[in-house]
Structure 1
Amino acid sequence: MIYPNNFEQKIGFDKIRNLIIEKCLSPLGIEKTEEMGFSSDYNTVQSLLSQTDEFMRIIQEEDDFPVNHFFDVRPALKNIRVEGTWLDESAVFDLRRSLQTIKDIVSFLRKEDEENTPYPHLQQLAGDVLIFPQLLNRIDSILDKYGRIKDNASAELSKLRKEISQVSGSISRTLNSILRAAQSEGLVEKDVSPTMRDGRLVIPVAPAFKRKLKGIVHDESATGKTVFIEPAEVVEANNRIRELESEERREIVKILIAFTNEVRPLTPDILQSYEFLAWIDFIRAKARLSIEIGAIHPTVEDKQLIGWDRAKHPLLYLSHKKQCKEIIPLDIWLNNENRLLIISGPNAGGKSVCLKTVGLLQYMVQCGLPIPLAESSKVGIFGNIFIDIGDEQSIENDLSTYSSHLTNMKFFVRNCDEKTILLIDEFGGGTEPQIGGAIAESLLKRFNERKAFGVITTHYQNLKHFANENQGVVNGAMLYDRHIMQPLFTLSIGNPGSSFAIEIARKIGLPEDVIADASEIVGSDYINMDKYLQDIVRDKRYWESKRNNVRIQEKKLEDITSRYENNLTDIEKQRKDIIKQAKEEAQRLLSDANAKIENTIREIKEAQAEKEKTKVVRKGLAEFKAKIESEELVTDDKIARKIQKLQDREKNKKNKVKAVKEQKAESISVGDNVRMKGQSSAGEVMEIQGKNAVVAFGMIKSTVKLDSLERVSKNQLKRENQKSTFVSSQTGDMVYEKKLNFKQDIDVRGMRGDEALQAVMYFVDDAIQVNAGRVRILHGTGTGALRQIIRDYLRTVHGVAHYQDEHVQFGGAGITVIDLE
């Protein structure tokens, strides 16, 4: 079920449908596109997606798929139901070409065995589609390749056309003779030739000479300077041509009626074949759009699930593509544990785009359209998709914006279940905030009880707290860079987002006294909580970046280790080959030496030399052989020791990596004091949820990855509270980009005390994080109250090593210079 009726316009699917229509080849495909609709049947969705995916591969890999003649001849076929009606030549020609296209498509899809076909779903669609080869042959017997009736379509037609040709030739010869005579008499210009008027051959003549040429005047030019005369000699012949042409037309109609009588019984089967052609046109258009938006056939599971990596809004992607801009993809995962996502964050930060992306992509996939996301993604099937977005005021029905929202909520509460996904923008908005937030929380509670899925955007703090405290509901934040005051259009699931109202107000130039009054009205607790949310988001971004870098480094280390091991194996193999070759060479040399010595001994014996001399020679030979073998052993042992040394070094590296991983996996349990690695703020573990932990940092609970936490003993916590810094020095290499945008000075002159203090707190936090070294605060002299407030605060900051007045030449007591640790 889809709600409301204008659902497609709300999420932009009407534009997707129009893009598909533009890519259709005929009204056949357009009709299917207009009929395309939402399906909650898993098998239907999978079949539609598979068909489109196969056609995407055809477009990308095949060159010979037939797409030339997609003609819609169905209206003509429906008009011949009555006996005596017939198809005209153009309809028959379109029928012939489109039937040939159907035949070629079916042949293309059936060219492989059913077990080996690369396009099984399209082949199944082709199924038992009829291709009418006899009908094609029959059309070929009456039409030529240009779609005209052949002369030999019947014996009578052949006879008539021959006679027409003969009479026309006679008329042409007679006219040419008359024309030459008229030209010689000066009645007609030299360059004039016979022309056709009202289907009769005539001669153009000046009005002054029209009575000198006997014949019938048929017409005159628009200027009146030329009249067209049919000479009397050819009048009868032209009349005969008219008669023959009428007989020819009657014979053609007779041929077409006979052919139509053959087609009429086949009309139901032909229309069924055109249904197949319509599906092919429709699927091809879907495939072309899918390729254009970078879509894939995702992994679809027959359950309620959203597990998307790098999902893109198709319309936004096409718009950015035209402007040569990159789109920021969306990562979102909803399952039975976290079904309802509450997204908060600044206005214009991408909350509504995120919601519409979810609605559009889920609707597309359940209409059988591939969607643009990463291969690792998983897509579920929902039975209902309900959306409440935009202003629905109605003068006719006397509905305000809020009344319209409540009407939608009434429908949602009555009809939602565990197979429903709700898409609600600005939940509870449109009325007084306190009661609006209360009603929204009450509705959210019931949505959660019914186990509905949903993506909901809001600014209400009570909904953020509800998500933090109730199973099944999870917070999400659209990230915002408060240093450059720009949204990042990135969804982060796990923590609520800040609205950055104060920062945005200051950026657009709202007077500081207005901002100060507003801050005083809401109170310091609210402002500090908002700041804390911002810090959580900032720290999470940092640690996600850090963890990603660690993963990259570990992957590089694994690659280097693997490559090193392969190199060692190759070296060992080469060493054995070299030693083997060296031994063979040495053995050959020894054999040659032995042969030479034996020959020498033989010669000595033959020369009757002394036996002692022979023994000396043999002993020298033995010593020579032993020396060579000893050198081989030394060389072999030397190489083996070197390889062993390399292997020991590699083993030590692996042990170090293992030790680091074991240290990371240090167990954390409920009740432990922990902190995020590299941070000084400590909290208490309230709950363990798989790889995540719920940690209470003061008044705020936050869900944090276990591998980003480290245990803190009570003694260590006490020592570190006495001496700590806001940001670990280990983060220096990760904040280079922030350093580039950081300014060493801040001007708080003219601000009220609490407003100036908050600005200084942000400024000093950032300065410590980027290791600024020395910064300056311009507060002016005045009464000295602002200077005193700021310095009272600086005394409490552990990261501040020293502060003092600026040199008198550069501002003196009106500026505080801070040296950071």
Structure 2
Amino acid sequence: MIYPQNFEQKTGFDKIRHLITDKCLSPLGEERVAEMEFSANYKTVTERLQQTEEFLKIINGEDEFPANYFFDVRHSLKRIRPEGTWLDEKELFDLKRSLQTINDIVSFFRPTNDEEIKYPALTELAGDILVFPQLIGKIDTILDKFGKVKDNASPTLAQIRKDITSTMSGISRSLQSILRSAQSEGVVDKDVTPTMRDGRLMIPVAPAFKRKIKGIVHDESASGKTVFIEPEVVVEANNRIRELEGDEKREIIRILTEFTNTVRPIASDILQSYEFLAEIDFIRAKALFANQINAIKPILEDKQQLDWAQAKHPLLYLSLQKQGKQVVPLDIYLDEIKRILIISGPNAGGKSVCLKTVGLLQYMLQCGLLIPIHESSRTGIFSHIFIDIGDEQSIENDLSTYSSHLTNMKYFVKNCNEKTIILIDEFGSGTEPQIGGAIAESLLDRFNRNKSFGVITTHYQNLKHFAKDTEGVVNGAMLYDRHMMQPLFKLSIGNPGSSFAIEIARKIGLPEDVIADASEKVGSDYIDMDKYLQDIVRDKRYWESKRQNIRQREKKLEEITARYEQDLEAVNKQRKEIMREAKNAAERILSEANARIENTIREIKEAQAEKEQTKLARKALEEFKTSIQTTEEEDGKIARKMAKLQERNERKKQKQKTTSQPAFNKDIIEVGDNVRLKGQVSAGTVMELQGKQAVVAFGMIKSTVKLEQLEKVSKGQIKREIQKSTFVSNQTSDHMHEKKLNFKQEIDVRGMRGDEALQTVTYFIDDAIQVGVGRVRILHGTGTGILRQLIRDYLRTVPGVHHFQDEHVQFGGAGITVVELE
């Protein structure tokens, strides 16, 4: 339950709704935004938040979501319910493209081949949605890619259009013949071409010569200097064209009606799929808005609580962002023990913003919107949100400001419970302070007894005392910098705040005697109490800062300890590896020693104790014994090395900083260096030096080059050049793609000078060939024919031009050249 009716206007949610509407792709989503409402059902709210969070991941991920054609054809589908009605070409084209979008979206979410479900909530939403691939295929047999009925949509239509084309060609030839004859007789100017008027081809003639051409005068120009004559030899042909066009229209209607008859029985199923499309449009708009305000899905629990960190008012965030400023985040905590927060502090200190932030974010959350808050925050669900803020004075109802507040309080007291959160700004104001404060304290007591939650702002001292002495109610203060004399817009929970009335009065420049007189009237006790409040707030800020510093140092100490533990573990692992290798080496040496001894004995026996041979065998054995002793001495060093290993690991980072790499000397070229020819980019490797020449391998090719023609390059330099080359390549590819998307297949050079037009056409044809267009049109007009001749002479010299000709007379005739490109 939300109270009052203008809750959204008071909190600013109406502006949020408008911002989300602007992000919808169609009326489908806009309707859902208008229907978006508050819910107190935990399951419903969780489901909405999960759907929006998943779509936010899609927006910020690499998966390309199909969001091309969100057309609303629901009205058209409802219109064809009566027999004999049909979908026109545009409606059918919109139906086809939007059904394809629905099909693509469902395919996007449905996993295939035991694939892991990436978006479970949205996949469930798309689970039972019907798609219509056969219907899409049927529409493809009727419409072309531009949404027009194809010639082969039916044999009858194909014949009708063939007849229209042949008849139009006959008319064109006849008109050209009549026109040439009239031009030779001087009746018609040489630059005149046939003109289409009211769907019929005619010849424009000066009024003085209209009797020279036999035919029907159909029209004249606005100036009266030209009349349009339909020669009698083509009248019958033009009439035939009109008949054929009528036949064409009737055949198209027949085709569309026949197709509509197949759609009508399943129209209700199609409409259900469009409800899914509307929901996707709505969720997408919510996710885009969440992305705009850096919102997240916080931890949501099915209980009443506010445990918020770094919460931000979304509208204030967007407003300050445009000004290049940062919003001060709100930290607030309310639970079953401390349910009602009484916020005090100076005017313009941020109390009302704090109140509106709580109301707006809680309402957004329970409408299924992600909110700008820290991920560690914990949120809850409230059944009722009541708000009393602003001036509700009503002349019609004879209500004063205070009376309207009391009317709201009556409703709050009557309807509040443990699942209600109450938001009241300037509690008790609007009437005489003493009685206003008393009534406010009594109301606050009733709210507390009903276990309600609340955020209430006030200046009344009795409410601050009540909060201090009453279980369930807690004081809070908007912090104020006494030295800078400016608010900090930061909420501190635990102590009441001062209004800083005396300090603000001094800053404004109120006479000191007035301030002294006012201080004497309220008494020293009040002034001292206000001062103590300020001191408490100041001390709390100081100790809070200290605690924060200690926390940061503890975190740093934990990180250092963790790093040392990891290093020690690595040392132990390395020690075990060294011991294993030493053991393997000892076994190998022992095995080799036994083999050597046996071999020596065998050699002595075979030599039959010849002195020289025995001496050599003994010498070899002694040498092997010496090598073993050397190995044992080296093994003895292992223990000493192990003792120093941990110390070396500790110094490793500092040693890396102080150890300098060998200087790169570009003047000395040695085998293995990377070199390139001076003035070139490609690098090779020096394989061999031959005096003043070097053998260099450039890829698979080896070449002998003089040293004076080579320059030495570092590996880093080669890497940078490769990256640079790759960047240029990507940039060029993007440029070509953009050029192809924006290329227009028609150019107008009418009114240009010959050389200017020729240069323009040259660039145009080059671009057309580059992007791979097959057909272009050049508008040059008829005039004296010089411009047309220049352009065609140039086209004959272009290798990529396959053919060029006049445009069909119906579409411009000799004033346009159609160019076919290879």
TM-score normalised by length of structure 1: 0.72
1:292-319 alpha-carbon deviations (Å, 9 max, x no partner): 1111111111111111111111111111
User: Which residue of structure 2 lines up, in the alignment, with residue 723 of structure 1?
Assistant: none
Any unmatched runs of 5+ in structure 1? 610-617, 648-821
Instruction: In structure 1, give the amino acid aligned to 2:96.
Output: R
Distance 2:163 2:290 in 1: 59
Check 1:574–1:98 CA distance in 2 against 1; reply closer, same or farther (3 A cut).
Answer: closer
2:321 equivalent to 1:341 = no
Distance 1:160 1:592 in 2: 100
Distance 1:140 1:627 in 2: 87
User: Which residue of structure 2 lines up, in the alignment, with residue 143 of structure 1?
Assistant: 143
Query: Structure 2 matches for 1:390-409, cutoff 5 A?
Result: 390-409=390-409
Query: Structure 2 matches for 1:13-92, cutoff 5 A?
Result: 13-92=13-92
2:505 equivalent to 1:505 = yes
Distance 1:146 1:201 in 2: 26
1:391-446 alpha-carbon deviations (Å, 9 max, x no partner): 11111111111111111101100011111111111111111111111110000000
Check 1:200–1:477 CA distance in 2 against 1; reply closer, same or farther (3 A cut).
Answer: same
Contact kept, 8 Å, 2:206 with 2:225, in 1: the verdict is yes
SS at match of 1:338: coil
Query: Structure 2 matches for 1:268-287, cutoff 5 A?
Result: 268-287=268-287
Instruction: In structure 1, give the amino acid aligned to 2:176.
Output: N
Contact kept, 8 Å, 1:426 with 1:459, in 2: the verdict is yes
Check 1:188–1:638 CA distance in 2 against 1; reply closer, same or farther (3 A cut).
Answer: closer
Distance 1:579 1:420 in 2: 69
Distance 2:644 2:463 in 1: 68
Deviation at 1:626, TM superposition (A): 10
Check 1:283–1:553 CA distance in 2 against 1; reply closer, same or farther (3 A cut).
Answer: same
User: Which residue of structure 2 lines up, in the alignment, with residue 123 of structure 1?
Assistant: 123
Contact kept, 8 Å, 2:151 with 2:157, in 1: the verdict is yes
Check 1:267–1:424 CA distance in 2 against 1; reply closer, same or farther (3 A cut).
Answer: same
Instruction: In structure 1, give the amino acid aligned to 2:318.
Output: L
User: Which residue of structure 2 lines up, in the alignment, with residue 95 of structure 1?
Assistant: 95
Check 1:302–1:591 CA distance in 2 against 1; reply closer, same or farther (3 A cut).
Answer: closer
2:360 equivalent to 1:360 = yes
Deviation at 1:183, TM superposition (A): 1.5
Distance 1:587 1:242 in 2: 105
User: Which residue of structure 1 lines up, in the alignment, with residue 327 of structure 2?
Assistant: 327
Distance 2:158 2:589 in 1: 101
Distance 2:640 2:158 in 1: 103
Contact kept, 8 Å, 1:579 with 1:636, in 2: the verdict is no
Query: Structure 2 matches for 1:557-576, cutoff 5 A?
Result: 557-572=557-572, 574=574
User: Which residue of structure 2 lines up, in the alignment, with residue 238 of structure 1?
Assistant: 238
Distance 1:75 1:320 in 2: 42
Deviation at 1:208, TM superposition (A): 2.4
Instruction: In structure 1, give the amino acid aligned to 2:95.
Output: L
Query: Structure 2 matches for 1:98-177, cutoff 5 A?
Result: 98-112=98-112, 116-177=116-177
Distance 2:342 2:250 in 1: 76
Distance 1:261 1:524 in 2: 91
User: Which residue of structure 2 lines up, in the alignment, with residue 672 of structure 1?
Assistant: none
User: Which residue of structure 2 lines up, in the alignment, with residue 303 of structure 1?
Assistant: 303
Query: Structure 2 matches for 1:687-698, cutoff 5 A?
Result: none
Distance 2:170 2:634 in 1: 115
Distance 2:410 2:176 in 1: 89
Distance 1:405 1:477 in 2: 23
SS at match of 1:331: strand
Contact kept, 8 Å, 2:571 with 2:645, in 1: the verdict is no
Distance 1:114 1:75 in 2: 39
Distance 2:130 2:577 in 1: 68
Check 1:403–1:227 CA distance in 2 against 1; reply closer, same or farther (3 A cut).
Answer: same
Query: Structure 2 matches for 1:534-545, cutoff 5 A?
Result: 534-545=534-545
Deviation at 1:29, TM superposition (A): 0.3
1:624-657 alpha-carbon deviations (Å, 9 max, x no partner): 999998998798479659979x99xxxxxxxxxx
SS at match of 2:121: helix
RMSD of aligned alpha carbons:
3.4
Deviates more, 1:322-331 or 1:455-464: 322-331
User: Which residue of structure 2 lines up, in the alignment, with residue 196 of structure 1?
Assistant: 196
Distance 2:644 2:170 in 1: 111
Contact kept, 8 Å, 1:52 with 1:369, in 2: the verdict is yes
User: Which residue of structure 1 lines up, in the alignment, with residue 373 of structure 2?
Assistant: 373
2:294 equivalent to 1:294 = yes
Distance 1:643 1:211 in 2: 114
Query: Structure 2 matches for 1:799-814, cutoff 5 A?
Result: none
Query: Structure 2 matches for 1:358-507, cutoff 5 A?
Result: 358-507=358-507
Deviation at 1:115, TM superposition (A): 8.4
Check 1:357–1:114 CA distance in 2 against 1; reply closer, same or farther (3 A cut).
Answer: farther
Check 1:524–1:65 CA distance in 2 against 1; reply closer, same or farther (3 A cut).
Answer: same
Query: Structure 2 matches for 1:549-588, cutoff 5 A?
Result: 549-572=549-572, 574=574
User: Which residue of structure 1 lines up, in the alignment, with residue 533 of structure 2?
Assistant: 533
User: Which residue of structure 1 lines up, in the alignment, with residue 817 of structure 2?
Assistant: none
Deviation at 1:146, TM superposition (A): 1.1
Check 1:379–1:156 CA distance in 2 against 1; reply closer, same or farther (3 A cut).
Answer: same
Deviation at 1:495, TM superposition (A): 0.9
Deviation at 1:559, TM superposition (A): 1.8
SS at match of 1:385: strand
Distance 2:472 2:7 in 1: 26
User: Which residue of structure 1 lines up, in the alignment, with residue 208 of structure 2?
Assistant: 208
Instruction: In structure 2, give the amino acid aligned to 1:490.
Output: K
TM-score normalised by length of structure 2: 0.72
SS at match of 1:370: coil
Aligned length: 638
Contact kept, 8 Å, 1:590 with 1:625, in 2: the verdict is no
SS at match of 2:339: strand
Check 1:565–1:64 CA distance in 2 against 1; reply closer, same or farther (3 A cut).
Answer: closer
Distance 2:550 2:130 in 1: 61
User: Which residue of structure 1 lines up, in the alignment, with residue 187 of structure 2?
Assistant: 187
Distance 1:246 1:638 in 2: 101
Deviates more, 1:182-191 or 1:377-386: 182-191
Distance 1:183 1:305 in 2: 92
Contact kept, 8 Å, 2:476 with 2:493, in 1: the verdict is yes
SS at match of 1:381: coil
Check 1:200–1:632 CA distance in 2 against 1; reply closer, same or farther (3 A cut).
Answer: closer
Deviation at 1:587, TM superposition (A): 10
Distance 2:118 2:628 in 1: 69
Distance 1:303 1:504 in 2: 42
Distance 1:66 1:643 in 2: 57
Any unmatched runs of 5+ in structure 2? 613-620, 651-822
Contact kept, 8 Å, 2:341 with 2:473, in 1: the verdict is yes
Deviation at 1:282, TM superposition (A): 0.5
SS at match of 1:310: strand
Contact kept, 8 Å, 2:479 with 2:490, in 1: the verdict is yes
Distance 2:125 2:646 in 1: 63
Contact kept, 8 Å, 2:110 with 2:127, in 1: the verdict is no
User: Which residue of structure 1 lines up, in the alignment, with residue 515 of structure 2?
Assistant: 515
Distance 1:89 1:432 in 2: 72
Deviation at 1:88, TM superposition (A): 1.1
SS at match of 2:325: coil
Deviation at 1:275, TM superposition (A): 0.6
Distance 1:415 1:177 in 2: 92
User: Which residue of structure 2 lines up, in the alignment, with residue 775 of structure 1?
Assistant: none
Check 1:114–1:369 CA distance in 2 against 1; reply closer, same or farther (3 A cut).
Answer: farther
Deviates more, 1:409-418 or 1:221-230: 221-230
Instruction: In structure 1, give the amino acid aligned to 2:435.
Output: I
User: Which residue of structure 2 lines up, in the alignment, with residue 261 of structure 1?
Assistant: 261
Deviates more, 1:477-486 or 1:182-191: 182-191
Contact kept, 8 Å, 2:589 with 2:628, in 1: the verdict is no
Instruction: In structure 2, give the amino acid aligned to 1:360.
Output: L
Deviation at 1:213, TM superposition (A): 1.9
Distance 2:111 2:162 in 1: 45
Deviation at 1:150, TM superposition (A): 1.5
